[in-house]
Structure 1
Amino acid sequence: MSLTATIVVPTQARPEYLDVALASIVPQARAAHVPVLVVDDGPSAQTRAVALAHHARYVAHDAPRGLNAARNTALDHTGSDLLVFVDDDVRVHPGWLRALVHAASQLPDEVAVLTGPIVPVFEDHALRMCGREGAPLTFLDLGPDDVDAPYAWGANMTIRRSAVQRAGRFDATRPLYGDEAEWQDRVRASGGRIRYIAAAGLDHRRAGDDARLRSLARAAYNRGRASRRHDVFKGTPPALRQELRTLAGCLVHTVRFRCANGIVMAAHSLGRTLEAKDPAPPPATPGVDDFTSGRSGTVGGVGGDALRRLDTLADVRTAVGRAQVRRRAARPSRTSPPKILVLGVDRPPSLMPAALDELRRTRTTDPVFATAPMHPALGKFANLNTQLAAHDLSAFDWLLVLDDDVVLPRHFLDVLVDQATRNSLKLAQPAHRLHSHAAWPLTRRQGGTTRRTSFVEIGPVTLFHRDTFAALLPFPAELQMGWGLDNHWAAIAREKGWAVGVVDAVPIAHTVAPAGAAYDREAALAEAQAFLATRPYLTRDEVRTLG
């Protein structure tokens, strides 16, 4: 039986990976007279150039819609019997395409999905693994013989169009991770099978910074949250205590076997644990609550106690790296120390005095303190504006806005300003500790020192570079609670090309009370809706870590 086929490569903003993938795929496609389709969930001029350079067909979404939407787009743009899906970060082995097409032509139609070996490859940076656990990257090895498989992962997944006709299209509302599994569950329910073809192998690559431990851990954390959400979707989520036991086991594994992969597994398990404690929010309603995280971000109970212990372990694990950052930040500069205005309102009883004592320990900056008691007749931002008006902002390099309910780590100001300067950040915030009230997951501490993000919060601690003063100051005095203001700042930062980031090296503790505990949530939402109605802002779906 002769079957037609199309190779489909969904991609988003990774032209370097795509170039390597197409360099290995196109020769096999050309020899078999099989077209190659690149679906850009973007669009991106660089991605288009790479696709056309390899003589692949290029189709782009007008805006990101997700991986399953890209797969559905491929269904709409080809009529082939077989759609040979691969990720953009693969390098196919010799004979890969021939093995898949031959197997599909010989197997009955009930074999709806075919896959093959997925070999994890870490380029540029070696990852120390003890060998007791699988690699921290999607892999598949079912042996040297063709056998039925439980799932085919999207890195190497060939489907029959007839299976789509029986089971339906991919669910474009499913988030990344678990996306293909949900469709394959429907395929099996309709009587379909999944077959592993041993000769149809490929490499699943991580290269450059993506192959570094901190990047692998960050990706594993996101996969962990997503995998927990998928378990909830299936109705099979483990109890929080079980997630905590798994997390503890990963940490013990890391120490016992000196296994870097254990850190990545712990990051995955941490993602699952935090998702269990603070589940993903329901879909946002545009203009109503799409500027909120949708999460409480509160910590407490058994899970909160575990997060405290994890913070202690994280402090120990990262102590050497943090010490190096602090020593570098404390080196005398040949230039005059940066001038910093520290702004805050104090509502006793508060933690402000201790925070100010820590800021005064700075060795490399020149802070001026402008904190004052909260005037009850004014909102927070009107109070801050009163203090701003008493100072000439042109005399300052940075503005640090500080709430009165946070605990700062040692060497806080030196490291925060050093990292913001080294990474050319115009807006920055310290990460939250794991045991800290933090509504936005991306603000909790992760591995590494500093991350570029699309968003920073209005509090409890925010650092502004002088380049932002004209656009962001004074604060909108009409705001009492300030929800949505940081989303608006993020849109301005994107428009102006400002770098924005979170500094993980100095995580703060915000544990006195969750954000919004002192005022009415509905009033805060209404205020934000009115404020953002005529202003650009980043939505919940656009708040992410960039690198």
Structure 2
Amino acid sequence: MALNDVTPEARAVPEAPRAASPDPTVGVVVCTYTAERLPQLRAAVASVRAQEHHVDQLVVVVDGDEELGAVVRGALPGEQVVVLGRNRGVSVARNTGAAQLETDLVFFLDDDATAHPRWVAELAPYLTRPDVLGASARSVGDFVGRAPAWLPDEYLWTVGVAYRGLPDEAAPVRNFYGGCAGMRRDTFLDVGGFADGIGHGDGRVGGGEEAEFCLRVRAARPGGEFWFVPEARIDHRVPAPRATWSYLVRRSYDEGVMKGDIARALGEGPAGGAALGPERDFARRLPRAALDYLRTPGRRSAALGTVVASLAVVAGLVRSRLSRRPVVVVRAGEARA
């Protein structure tokens, strides 16, 4: 979940649509990259198989070599497993999975998450409307141990968890969260999928691929909206190494770099401004948030967390502005040497 990626826009919220008949076919892509997550991967796949809404096809994409692929196939007998051959990042893994599907809709679930039984059922009705580009669920943090008091609620996106500022009811938002999202597969493929070179992978922990993707989809499908649907839920595991100061700083810094790269790639016009516009509003609210934490017993350390994370984001934005690193887009299903 990227920095303020799903900030709700100020507008009247229409009622949730009813599903069209006949129901579109549903495919789910689950990506994995390490044998250490095999128990979590099994749980993720089991949660997909336990959906109240029928799932027509499930593809597990192994973002790694054939040895890891063999381990995953052994752990998931009977499941469709696709192996990339080497670690290429979550964007390429998701693109590959979507290209393997033969369904009308594509849903994405991370291997460290489990979907609530109505995840697909709550999101699918939104995806039948031509004016809805995609929809994502609420990601609920499943911390190993307690969530650290110093981690600001506004920065829970750094660990892939729904953060303070998201709408309480279903509403149009700027971007979706790719780890628990759904959309029409033809739209996903037509725009080329997620961009390679940004997002998690290749030593990066930052996001950005979802923000860039959603800006691209909006340009290709003017007038469409992405939706945040909190009634649809997933539980996202947060391991101890991610609930640390060092991860907060690194994740925030990488986010700043990626958002700066996206804005630079889109230029100085409206599209480039759209990449960072909500972040500026988000930044204006942070001083007030820090003061509120200082007044809250047991959460005063979160004021320092707010300052540290914000400075890391700014440092990343500055780094991006000073560099000329290009953003490379690899279309879904394409190979890259």
TM-score, normalization by structure 2: 0.67
- Report the Cα distance in structure 2 between the residues aligned to 1:276 and 1:209, rounded to whole angstroms: 25
d(CA) in 1 for partners of 2:294, 2:261: 29
The partner residue of 2:86 within 59, 63, 70 is 63
Q: Which residue in 2 is equivalent to 1:95?
A: 118
1:4 aligned to 2:25?
yes
Aligned to 1:6, the other structure's residue is in SS state strand
Q: CA-to-partner distance for each residue in 1:170-216, whole Å, 9 max, x for gaps?
A: 33244441212222122222233223334321122202333344434
Residues of 1 paired with 2:151 and 2:90: CA distance?
A: 33
CA distance in 2, matches of 1:182, 1:92: 25
Paired residue for 1:227? 259
Q: Residues 368-408 of structure 1: CA distance to partner in whole angstroms, max 9, x if unpaired?
A: xxxxxxxxxxxxxxxxxxxxxxxxxxxxxxxxxxxxxxxxx
Distance 1:243 1:206, change over 3 A: closer
For residue 110 of structure 1, report the CA deviation from its aligned partner.
3.2
Contact 1:254 1:262 in 2 (8 A): yes
Paired amino acid for 1:149: V
Q: Which has the larger radius of gyration?
A: 1
Residues 211, 131 of structure 1: alpha-carbon distance in 2 compared, 3 angstrom cutoff: closer
* Contact 1:92-1:202 at 8 Å conserved across structures: yes
2:95 partner letter: N
Distance 1:137 1:161, change over 3 A: same
Per-residue displacement from partner, 1:337-379 (whole Å, max 9, x unpaired)?
xxxxxxxxxxxxxxxxxxxxxxxxxxxxxxxxxxxxxxxxxxx
Choose from 130, 134, 145 the match for 1:113: 134
Letter in 2 for 1:138: G
Q: Which residue of 2 aligns with 1:207?
A: 239
After superposition, what is the alpha-carbon deviation per residue over 1:233-278, rounded to whole angstroms, capped at 9, x for unaligned?
A: 443469xxx9999998888777675544445444432333323443
Deviation per CA, 1:469-517, whole angstroms, max 9, x where unpaired?
xxxxxxxxxxxxxxxxxxxxxxxxxxxxxxxxxxxxxxxxxxxxxxxxx
The equivalent position to 2:229 in structure 1, one of 178, 197, 210, is: 197
In the alignment, structure 2 segments of 5+ residues that lack a partner are 1-21, 201-206, 267-271, 327-337
Q: 2:167 aligns with which of 123, 135, 142?
A: 142
1:479-498 alignment to 2 at 5 Å? Answer: none
| 1:157 shift after superposition | 1.2
Quick one: distance in 1 between partners of 2:114 and 2:198? 26
How far apart are the structure 2 equivalents of 1:41 and 1:15? 12
Of 45, 50, 53 in structure 2, the residue corresponding to residue 27 of structure 1 is 50
1:39 aligned partner: 61
Aligned pair count reads: 277
Bigger relative contact order, structure 1 or 2, given CA contacts below 8 A and separation 6+?
Answer: 2
Measure, in 1, the Cα distance between the counterparts of 2:147 and 2:304.
14
Contact 2:150 / 2:305 at 8 angstroms: preserved in 1? no
**Structure 1 residues 136-175: aligned runs within 5 Å:** 136-140=158-162, 141-143=166-168, 145-164=169-188, 166-175=190-199
In 2, Cα distance between equivalents of 1:65 and 1:131: 31
1:45–1:25 distance in 2 versus 1, CA, 3 Å: farther
**Inter-partner Cα distance in structure 1 for 2:246 and 2:234:** 25
The yes-or-no answer on 1:179 pairing with 2:179 is: no
8 Å Cα contact 1:227-1:272 kept in structure 2: no
Letter in 2 for 1:86: L
Relative to structure 1, is the Cα distance of residues 2 and 43 closer, same or farther in structure 2, using a 3 angstrom cutoff? Answer: same
CA distance in 2, matches of 1:148, 1:10: 27
Match of 1:519 in 2: none
Q: How far is 1:283 from its partner?
A: 4.6
CA contact (8 A) 1:213 1:260 kept: no
Query: Post-superposition shift, 1:123?
Result: 2.3
RMSD value, Cα: 3.7
Which residue pairs with 2:75 in the alignment?
53
Q: 1:10 touches 1:41 (CA, 8 Å); kept in 2?
A: yes
Residue 125 of structure 1, CA deviation: 3.6
Cα distance between partner residues in 2 of 1:44 and 1:200: 34
